[in-house]
Structure 1
Amino acid sequence: MLLPTCAKGDIVTNGISFQEHRFSSSDGLQLYARDYGHADPQTAASLPIVCLPGLSRNSRDFHRLAMQLSTQPQRPRRVIALDYRGRGSSDWDTDKSRYQLPVEAQDVLSACENLGIAKAIFIGTSRGGLILHFLAAMRPALLAGAALNDIGPVIEIAGLLQIRHYLQAQQPLQSFEQAIESLKKTHSAAFPALDDDDWADMAQAIFREKDGVITADFDPALIEPLKSIDADTQVPDLWALYQGFQTMPLMVIRGENSNILSEATVLEMGKRHPGVKVVTAAGQGHAPLLHRPDLLTDMTAFIDGIS
């Protein structure tokens, strides 16, 4: 979907603008971010929000959430959404070994430095939540609070295997209508709560038109580390890094049908952080769409409870 541009590099969609930013990583890649609410003087009075997407996803995943949070009447927020290296409008890395969590965490720090973010509330979906575990250890003062969307210190191997399967199975398509049908075929059993607009938005976020075909918008090399795992693979846990969240407000969203974040892990997260706010995304799997009305209410309450 092509969006009209306006002055100063802003993009306007549905009457709401965001600014596009391109900046350099510490090792010289050109990375991309969307900046919502930057032009509203009211947003300067509140903490900004930084949104971190999943493994193969990008800033477009957060478009509807960012529009909602940046225009809410009583307390609009500045919302930043990032494309990591190898995703969306950011450069692909020629050194594929650098597609790893500590490097991507450093890229988030570079983004915050370039965009003037000294402290923010962070939302991390899936891999974005894993990156937040690293940031909580690397730069705890940057995080005023964190929301982990369907991710925690323990990742279920069955979920990783399913992610590998559907990412490897994605083939170029002829239209976005085909992309929507492909997503429904793969994910509808885990996401009965989604409506037609949600599926259309998901397709626009995941896929991009390139050379006349619709393709997934990420470097295929991202899948390589998943190719070596099997049902017996022991995935290292991140409980030691999870301790970094002890000093800040924490929210955990679990998809009711998630196969990545188990109920047992969420229970243990609550024991180790007694103040954690736990929310179940009814009728959603991995990973929940946060702009849905039930989750938006909980997200807004959590965010406004911080500052």
Structure 2
Amino acid sequence: MSSTRPAESRFIAAADGLRLHYLDYPAPDAMRLPLVCLPGLARTADDFWRVAETTADRRVLALDYRGRGRSAWDTDWRHYDLDVEQADIFAVLADAGVTEAAFLGTSRGGLHTMRIAKARPALVRAAILNDIGPKVEKEGLLRIKRYVGKLPPLSRLSEAVALMRMTAAPQFAGVSAEEWETYARQTFVETESGVELRYDPALNHTLDVVTPDAQFEEFWEPFAVLARVPILALRGETSDILSVEVFDEMARRAPLLERHTVPGQGHAPLLLDQPTLDRIKVFLNACP
């Protein structure tokens, strides 16, 4: 994981005083619409370094939610919810001076994008939804619950790479060995005591409500607001979070929506393959 486009690490205090981190990739053309990147549940700002390289003509912000990456961990895991995180996102955007932007949301970040469009419609000028829709499939949530916050003892990063390839290979047959290593470095950190997660393991409590009988909130109402702007919807070919049926329904309800399927990847596409990065760049360049 080595970007040729340097980013500035910035830290701010959330409303409750917790230290938040975000990456700011500056650009020479201040007139370009900035891109705000929001990661998945247990992901970090580092997931978007190749996106930032590909879109070097515009400012890119990539956020670490509380409890992830270089943001501080919260002593109360119940604060790892969409409302608190949304307030944190607004605090980061205010600190960065961003009043309108294109948003790229991976999984949970896409839910945030829809919610932000409803809360502040003028803020979201375009959206890229990475393997997420208004309806989230229960089977995928149950699978995610099995691994979030859990890590067997590992002494070296190479063991983490092997573990990822073994557990995710059926969904990610199209990912190269180099991409697996990059993704592992974005997921784990190697310390003197072994390999550790780059997020608070207490995040797994946010999935306590995920059971085979549970009913989950759908986001068609905020999606309808988002549908007023251009949308690029990405779907991993083998995704168990965004179904083909929901993908089709999104296109039916949003006349400005474009679709791109990432072959050989599941939930969520890693945003490392060149065809997907090129598709994102073309979409952004066509936005007003």
- TM-score scaled by length of structure 2: 0.96
Instruction: Give, as a single letter, the amino acid of the residue that structure 2 aligns with 1:27.
Output: D
Distance 1:215 1:79 in 2: 28
Give yes or no for the alignment of 1:61 onto 2:47: yes
Give yes or no for the alignment of 1:303 onto 2:288: no
Distance 2:153 2:24 in 1: 30
Instruction: Determine if contact 1:102/1:134 at 8 Å carries over to the other structure.
Output: no
After superposing on structure 2, the runs of 4+ consecutive aligned residues of structure 1 that deviate more than 4 Å are none
Question: Partner residue of 1:7?
Answer: none
Distance 1:116 1:14 in 2: 24
Distance 2:191 2:113 in 1: 32
Distance 2:218 2:136 in 1: 7
Instruction: Give, as a single letter, the amino acid of the residue that structure 2 aligns with 1:29.
Output: L
Question: Partner residue of 2:30?
Answer: 44
Q: How many residues align?
A: 288
Deviation at 1:290, TM superposition (A): 1.9
Deviations 1:107-151 (A, max 9, x none): 111111101111111000000001111101111111110111000
Q: Please show how residues 145-294 of structure 1 align to structure 2 within 5 Å.
A: 145-294=126-275
Question: Partner residue of 2:7?
Answer: 18
Deviation at 1:14, TM superposition (A): 5.0
Q: Please show how residues 64-103 of structure 1 align to structure 2 within 5 Å.
A: 64-70=50-56, 76-103=57-84
Instruction: Give, as a single letter, the amino acid of the residue that structure 2 aligns with 1:113.
Output: A
SS at match of 1:17: coil
Distance 1:175 1:248 in 2: 45
Calculate percent identity across the aligned residue pairs: 39
Q: Please show how residues 136-151 of structure 1 align to structure 2 within 5 Å.
A: 136-151=117-132
The match for 1:34 among 12, 18, 23 is 23
Question: Partner residue of 1:6?
Answer: none
Distance 2:199 2:225 in 1: 30
Deviation at 1:230, TM superposition (A): 1.9
Distance 1:152 1:16 in 2: 31
User: Mind listing any 5+ residue stretches in structure 1 that lack a counterpart?
Assistant: 2-12, 71-75
Distance 1:184 1:79 in 2: 30
SS at match of 2:50: helix
Distance 2:260 2:83 in 1: 28
Instruction: Determine if contact 1:32/1:90 at 8 Å carries over to the other structure.
Output: yes
Instruction: Give, as a single letter, the amino acid of the residue that structure 2 aligns with 1:48.
Output: P
Instruction: Determine if contact 2:80/2:206 at 8 Å carries over to the other structure.
Output: no
Distance 1:161 1:132 in 2: 23
User: Mind listing any 5+ residue stretches in structure 2 that lack a counterpart?
Assistant: none
